[in-house]
Amino acid sequence: MIVDGGNYPALCPLIRNKYCEHFTTVGKSCNHANCSFNHMWYDCYQPQEKAAQETYVEENKENVLFNVCSYGVWKALPEANRHLLGTKDGPTSGER
């Protein structure tokens, strides 16, 4: 995930207390040894978690986008949601 402004939550409420937001956010890092959250990429989420995250990004796309450089995102993000891909500079055309 990509967060614009650095203070907006990257993960949707459904999974925010399950997965490590620092692990999944571009430009942030996590000290795994001291973290109690799961360290999983978007492509490893359960189907209902992916759907909830996609809806969250759609509703908050001015603040949160999927990482255009992530193979896991490209592998798992439905074609219809490719408009939710972005870079640090904002939305892309959906092209890699």
Q: Alpha-carbon distance 3 to 8, whole Å?
A: 6
Domain count, the chain: 1
Q: Left if phi > 0, otherwise alpha if psi is -120 to 50, otherwise beta: which for 6?
A: left
Note the pLDDT tens digit of each residue in 1-46: 777 666 789 999 999 999 999 888 887 888 878 899 999 989 999 9
Q: Let me know if residue 96 belongs to a domain.
A: no
Write out pLDDT tens, residues 34-78: 899 999 989 999 999 999 999 999 999 888 999 888 888 988 999
**Within a 13 Å sphere around the CA of 68, how many CA atoms are in the beta-carbon half?**
15
Task: Yes or no: say if 33 and 20 are a contact pair by the CB < 8 Å rule.
Answer: no
> What dihedral do alpha carbons 78, 68, 26, 54 form, nearest 10°?
-20
Q: Residue 48's domain spans which residues?
A: 2-91
Report yes or no: 64 and 4 within 8 Å, Cβ to Cβ: yes
